[in-house]
Chain A
Amino acid sequence: MQKDSFAPTKADAYTLRRRPPSEKLLDTGFRQLSLVMASMVAIVLISIFLVVFTGARDAIGEFGLSFLTTSGWDPVNQQYGAFVAIYGTLVTSILSLMIAVPLGVGTAILITEDVLPRAIRDAVGLMVELLAAIPSVVLGLWAIFVMEPAIRPALNLLHAWFGWSPFFDTTAQGPGMAPAILILVVMVLPIITAISRDALNQVPIELRQGAYGVGTTRWGAIFSVILPAAVSAITGGVMLSLGRAMGETMAVTMIIGNAINFNTSLLAPGNTIASMLANQFGEADGIQVSALMYAAVILMILTFTVNVLAQWIVRRLSLRY
């Protein structure tokens, strides 16, 4: 018979294509390049810590740990203490989360459960995501000119009712902690809603079916089966938004009043570390820059801890179904 000319000869079959040196160079070069690019993350992160710590060294030496507990901020006599700002950072972020968590998780349940038609649920989800896209400075502008004047009567009502408590013992006269807390709620709500929605969507359908199969109601299933299954991811998301709330700058700066003196009242002006940096860093010099860097170090340690905790919670506490 005719010889099968299509069959490869021995030499063709077992010789690998010879890769030209240029191709090999391109390959290894690209690998190294992408390695360098990935390392940029570590380099940037470490330099951020280094730059801020070095900047803060003078102030750390000068004021020590009493910086955390004293509340003077006096550029003339060069006496600095960040207590007002640290207190404001913690109080505004924690109180805003106490309002935003029920709202956000409730909205996420509304979006993931089949209470409303799918079109409406999708629309609500889209709107919450668009809310996250609105720049914080625009929310601040809105807070100054629209929200704060609108809620002032309600805040003064709080003063009238609860004026005996140290948290409401001043009248609301304009910028203050309470409007800052409310604008923070608006800012973290989309994050909590988005993460809770993803967490609830990932609960296996069998768990729901099982719950409904043994005869529970919708909210019986939500509270006893679905929420417990999603709780680790939701907690992680809440921690992430706590970090976000602590570091949030613009909207808070514009509405919190940037007070120097300490006041327990939520209706009085306050300050946060981020707003202090935004307001003073550009014009500061000498030890004041260092004091501001010290405050930045504290903010970084706070957000770092919260973020690491968030990741740890998501990794360690996730339920195995």
Chain B
Amino acid sequence: MATTTIRSGSDNQQSDLFDRRPLTFDPALKRNRINRVLTTIAGIFGALAVLPLFLVLLYVLFQGGRLLSPTLFTQLPPPPGLEGGGIGNAVIGTILVTLIASVIAIPIGVGGGIFLNEYSSRGWFSQFISFGNDILAGVPSIITGVFVYGIVVSTRLFFNQSFSAVAGGIALAVLMLPTVIKTTDEGLKLVPQELRWGSYGIGASKFVTVMRITLPAAFTPIATGVVLAIARAAGETAPLIFTALFSPFWPEGIFNPIATMSVLIFNFSIMPYEAQNELAWAASFVLVIMILAANLLARWISKVSRA
């Protein structure tokens, strides 16, 4: 940028900057040309970044959508080599496993978030918990699967059953926990301190204040975070491969192996059969629609309450 001002020396001895250079925008200047080039590059980068979303959605909607029929939800997957069938057991399985995970992770996560923001003095212990929470959020999801395999599946913890829907649910809960704690903590931070003082002032106990004043005031950010965490858990595969395993049959209770859509997609996509590959696309369609709907719901929650 400095070069453009010094340039004047050679062609104009009097070098009156204000006379020589008009204040109007000159697109031919080097700096403005560089500007345009860089803006174009940023535009291309932005286009490249959204391109995969369109391509993936296009294929999932097209390939999966054309298989959409009522039988998809009422039938079992066919044995290898046969045509037809559906993914009914996997749809139920995904809902069930995600539900188990939510039942475990949401109370613990919200409770942990309440402790971090309402009860702890931000001393070494809560700092350690916050730090541990960030580390737990970064633990690869496959490691979560290995961990739950180690403590639940291989030890046959529940009724001497090895692979089970509960094991899968626990693995997903470990995955959801950091998100729920983080969003609860952040959500409670936004609640004005005056609300708590007001509650104590009229004689409410801490428990009543948290339950009736602070938590409801922070409902929106917490609900948004929880919905996003559930959506993420529903699509996870890695923690389920060797915890919930897979089952070609209808669910037989939560202490038995269970089919989920994500594991079905993984198993069926690497099979050399056309019918299985198509069911993988159909399951992708259902899963993506469910997850995108949850994401839009989360957005809607935060938008509605802000208005």
Contact = CB atoms under 8 A, between A and B. Distances in A.
Interface of A: 17, 19, 23, 26-27, 30-31, 33-42, 44-45, 47-48, 51-52, 54-55, 102-104, 106-107, 109-111, 113, 115-116, 124, 127-131, 133-142, 144-147, 186, 189, 193, 215-220, 240, 243-244, 246-250, 253-254, 274, 277-278, 281-282, 292-293, 296, 299-300, 303-304, 306-308, 311
A107 B41 CA distance: 10
A127 B57 CA distance: 11
Contacts of A42: 128-129, 132
Contacts of A106: 41-42, 45-46, 49
Given A52-B146, A130-B292, A141-B269, 12 more contacts: A34-B118, A38-B129, A44-B177, A48-B147, A134-B56, A135-B287, A138-B60, A220-B31, A274-B142, A299-B142, A304-B135, A308-B135
Contacts of B238: 136, 249-250, 274, 278
21 contacts: A17-B203, A30-B210, A34-B112, A36-B111, A51-B150, A127-B50, A137-B262, A138-B284, A142-B60, A193-B49, A240-B138, A244-B138, A247-B143, A278-B238, A281-B145, A282-B242, A296-B143, A300-B139, A303-B140, A307-B135, A307-B138
A254 B133 CA distance: 30
Contacts of A41: 112, 129, 132-133, 136, 177-178, 181
B103 interface: no
B261 to A, nearest CB: 9
Contacts of B80: none
Given A39-B129, A109-B42, A311-B131, A27 B206 contact: yes
B302 interface: no
A99 to B, nearest CB: 10
A274 B144 CA distance: 11
Contacts of A47: 147, 151
Nearest to B209: A27
B232 interface: yes
Interface residues of B, number: 89
B241 A282 contact: yes
A254 B238 CA distance: 12
A138 B295 contact: no
B56 A139 contact: yes
Interface in B127-177: 128-129, 131-136, 138-147, 149-151, 174, 177
B143 A133 contact: no
Interface in B92-149: 107-109, 111-112, 114-116, 118-120, 126, 128-129, 131-136, 138-147, 149
B205 interface: yes
Contact of A141 (B39, B42, B178, B265): B265
A303 B129 contact: no
B81 interface: no
B266 A254 contact: yes
Find the residue from A41, A107, A147, A250 having the highest chain B CB count within 10 A. Answer: A41
A189 to B, nearest CB: 6
